[in-house]
A and B are shown apart, each in its own frame.
Chain A
């Protein structure tokens, strides 16, 4: 019994602590443990807290103490009014709530039994009765400040933890203390001793045995009180007042510090003029009939019970979304068991029905019966009902919204190519002579001459009009690129041969220009020595021709001239930090404008008008402002393998070709994203070109075709460029490696892998 009570007490404390946590901010239930009382603190620990164990305890208790049941039930009956103010226990505790009270009652019953006995024996009442205690609740001494924390509780003597005590039944010790020494079992008093002690010591009934620590604990009077209160279903702590008077800490009324001390304005006391005006206005509107009061709609006295079937479409503005199923025909006179004579078909008519088609034949033949009882079952009932169901089920009755879009509308309205003349269409001239694939071509600014560079190691000069090869330079190496100086006075071509750029004199200018060119193309010794030291490039005289050779560290892929013809930029893709070098022809100097490149440089172009440099890497095109020496724009074509680019003569538009067969047009005023992307070719785009004066651009590809587009750029900033595909030029047996427009005429030169340069004319 003692163990049970101990368990219950500690359980009760446990629960109240939990309740305190769960009902934070509400009425608090404080644990009754006083930190001063060592025994109590011992009590509060290490008892099984699982609700299941608890329930089993209760069962045992109930079976043992039948006499406690009645009281427990009574207590459970009358405790509602008080207890509902109490802790709002968690759900898990609700389950055993009723049982808990039973236990409490049972325990207190037991205790009082003893106390009564003691009282009887001693004649002195140590404790008030239940009723007295309940009356005294209100003015119970408010307890001193109590700590809820478990830190300042004295730890229990035993350290074995939560193990069954059975394990120590046959041992001489009950466990171990904190130092690891065995705690010896105390000598238990036998029944007689305990009885004697109880009768001797008035306070012995307060003692409970703590099995865990193997000691007897005396409950204080507060604890006893608490147990009693719990039993009565009240708040365990006497100091908690569930009906405290409400203090309105945050009231705002009639406080001594209003925000404004201004006197109440007059307008608060006089009627509103604005409202009066509004009322006048409304009254006038009503009188003059501008405002119509909404009269309640008069309901028709009679209405069709089932609605008007024929006028369904009026129900909604657009008509119904579904088509209602047709109603079955209601029976008429002919279906009567006793139809009038005129409905009954004669024998001739019946015979004539046989001759009709089955669909046209009447489904029902009226017949006359003497009485309703004679009418047989309708033979077609099931069949007709089935057909009706089929009709309802199979016939789609929703109105389908079909969108009729003419595919022509979706195609953007572009002008017809024949209205955009002139553009190159027909190949009239072929320039034959190379024996290897022609990788690059370039035209003289006036359009009289054309140079081509081929993988056979030669550079050839062609007369555009006749197709005659006028000069051949053998470069003794793989030629990558050739570019004619855009300055008409300087008839110089820059040829990139493996690791060198060779500046060749073409000898097509007049004497004065020619003298200038030859002076430009003589290597200045002092400079060449200086350039050897910094070892960026070396400017030396060419071995065979009257030319300058600029030797780079890495192979040079392309050369592009500035429009004034003095500066030119070279690209050596493997050059890393020296991928782009800018050379000056007049001073024979070379500089490296970039410390670092973000990617593999593919192509470089000068802006035709302003000091900008376009640097194309495989992913992006960066536009650098050479005057401010900073990045101005970064164009993102969205390609992975950018291969070529060309800039519009006005400088604000750029086309970029990629090895993903795509071509995109950038309007740099508009965005850094492409204005248009065209997937026109079947293979890698090898070159793109703009025409100098005509609104034309072209792209050529390894699939052997060149595409010509109309690309009109308007001076009006609001108008986007107009791009119209014009013509696909076939003719090359192998891929087209380069294309260039004639500088003056709307003609296109294409250089192919089949060693032929073709000229397409309008």
Chain B
């Protein structure tokens, strides 16, 4: 053995099924080994025919350097046994489908497992299947759609969709499989129009309960809307107007119901760029006035304010315990705050790799560590917050990426200013 070669005692552990587990005995490995070397070691120990890449976690951080440097950085003794957890590494996703639209995609939502809903600058919301085929389109907005949200429903066959638009209104769409038009040319109509904002609506989020939503706008207010499908007439907060509407394309007349907001949350001084309804009573919002706010919906009070130095464009709540706030905006840094810590001011983590403004960041719906972000530099990046370097960088777009979302747990949908809607799949995040 080379005298210079240092050895490190390691013990591997994993949460993977038993066939991918190695013996719980300490191994002695050379200290210059990096992630790739360790992955080879595990592959050799498991005796896999097809090599499988693994990622290694030491004290909550992914190994991105050699073990030697890691020990120095973490100030650990080389004498003790190092506990390393390994997980399957994220393989580069494959471009499953790409569709060239007619206009910029401004919003995408992957909450529904069957369809991807997008909104675009031509004011039409569309539903897409996994193969990149547009299965239906929802027309009604006069201006660009800025945000799309999906109402959680118990019934699989009905889909409830919310779209926010620059025409100062939101629309609520109910689509059932039966009523779904077969061909692309057929259009569904909105069942409710939510009017109350005095300026462009920038974002919308549905409540987990499924009958309420909130929206943020350029008029710096957050409006809460009550959208009970059945008994909306009875609600005292909603004023209902019925009017005959001649739809421009179809001769048949629809009944459009106008809904007024239930209440207004005031506190932001500038455009509310992103809202997220997390729990039954909690709404988080991000704004251009450099602040993140938490609201109690029942009491209609602002109970949390975190200020940042930059204007914020996007917000996502998720991660560990579904309580971390990831927000980004007019700079290339994603900042993550933990609002559970008292007196939260400074972000607990900053992720830096983008080159331009970040248009969207989204936590993975199940994984507490994974995050995706899309930026004006044309890239979509997948992050593991245990590592400072992005896991994957998807450079498929030729222009600004305006929107991106996770879909079905292992796919990423992104749309951009190059009118492309791209679906990457086979991204095994657990």
Contacts and interface: CB of A to CB of B under 8 A. Distances in A.
Contacts of A448: 199-200, 218, 271
A116 interface: no
A466 B402 contact: yes
Given A421-B309, A446-B218, A745-B330, A466 B199 contact: no
Interface in B183-212: 197-200
B199 A428 contact: no
Contacts of A447: 270-271, 288
Contacts of A466: 104, 106, 359, 400, 402, 417
Interface in A162-205: none
A445 B335 CA distance: 29
B350 to A, nearest CB: 16
A706 B356 CA distance: 20
Nearest to B220: A446
Contact of B309 (A422, A511, A744): A422
B357 interface: yes
B376 A428 contact: yes
A510 B198 contact: yes
A344 interface: no
A564 interface: no
A17 to B, nearest CB: 104
Contacts of B359: 466
A465 B313 contact: yes
B310 A762 contact: yes
Contacts of B381: none
B135 to A, nearest CB: 26
A508 B197 CA distance: 12
Contacts of B311: 745
A467 interface: yes
B199 A446 contact: yes
B121 interface: yes
A224 interface: no
Nearest to B309: A422
A509 B217 CA distance: 13
A468 B289 CA distance: 22
Contacts of A429: 356-357, 376
Given A448-B218, A744-B270, A745-B311, A428 B417 contact: no
A470 B144 CA distance: 9
A428 B270 contact: no
Nearest to A470: B144
Contacts of A465: 273, 313
B226 interface: no
Contact of B331 (A421, A470, A513, A761): A761
A187 B417 CA distance: 138
Contacts of B376: 428-429, 467
Given A428-B376, A446-B271, A510 B400 contact: no
B397 interface: no
Contacts of B310: 761-762
Interface residues of A, number: 22
Contacts of B330: 428, 745, 747, 761-762
Interface string A335-352: 000000000000000000
Contacts of B200: 448, 508
Nearest to A744: B270
Nearest to B332: A428
B168 interface: yes
B218 A468 contact: no
Contact of A467 (B168, B288, B400): B400
Contacts of A422: 309
Contacts of B289: 744
Contacts of A747: 330
Contacts of B357: 428-429, 761
Interface in B241-286: 270-271, 273
Nearest to B270: A744
B118 to A, nearest CB: 15
B11 to A, nearest CB: 46
A745 B310 CA distance: 9
Nearest to B377: A428
Nearest to A421: B309
Interface in A86-139: none
Contacts of B288: 447, 744-745
Contacts of A513: 198
B287 to A, nearest CB: 11
A468 B417 contact: yes
A170 to B, nearest CB: 123
B301 to A, nearest CB: 25
Contacts of A467: 376, 400, 417
Which of the listed residues A421, A428, A429 has the most CB atoms from chain B within 10 Å of its own CB? A428
Given A421-B309, A429-B376, A510 B402 contact: no
Nearest to A513: B198
Interface in A455-477: 465-468, 470
Nearest to B103: A468
A747 B290 CA distance: 13
B218 A510 contact: no
Contacts of A509: 198-199
Nearest to B330: A761
Central interface residue in B197, B271, B313, by most chain A CB within 10 Å: B271
Interface string B312-342: 0100000000000000001110000000000
A118 B352 CA distance: 144
A659 B371 CA distance: 52
Interface string B368-402: 00000000100000000000000000000000101
A762 B271 CA distance: 18
A468 B104 contact: yes
Interface string A485-516: 00000000000000000000000111101000
Nearest to B273: A465
B161 to A, nearest CB: 22
Interface string A625-647: 00000000000000000000000
A156 B106 CA distance: 124
A448 B197 CA distance: 15
Nearest to A467: B400
A446 B402 CA distance: 22
A510 B199 contact: yes
Interface in A565-596: none
Contacts of A510: 168, 197-199
B169 to A, nearest CB: 10
Contacts of B121: 468
A467 B356 CA distance: 13
B335 to A, nearest CB: 15
A513 B168 CA distance: 13
A510 B219 CA distance: 10
B47 to A, nearest CB: 50
Interface in A4-19: none
A505 to B, nearest CB: 15
Nearest to A489: B198
A744 B288 CA distance: 9
Nearest to B198: A510
A761 B271 CA distance: 17
Contacts of B199: 446, 448, 508-510
B364 to A, nearest CB: 25
Interface in B58-95: none
Nearest to B331: A761
Interface in A400-428: 421-422, 428
Interface string B131-144: 00000000000001
State the 3 A-B residue pairs at the shortest beta-carbon distance, nearest first.
Answer: A510-B198, A428-B356, A428-B357
13 contacts: A421-B309, A428-B356, A429-B357, A429-B376, A447-B270, A448-B200, A465-B273, A466-B402, A468-B104, A470-B144, A508-B199, A511-B168, A761-B330
Interface of B: 104, 106, 121, 144, 168, 197-200, 218, 270-271, 273, 288-289, 309-311, 313, 330-332, 356-357, 359, 376, 400, 402, 417
Given A448-B199, A508-B199, A510-B168, 6 more contacts: A428-B331, A428-B376, A466-B104, A466-B402, A744-B270, A761-B310
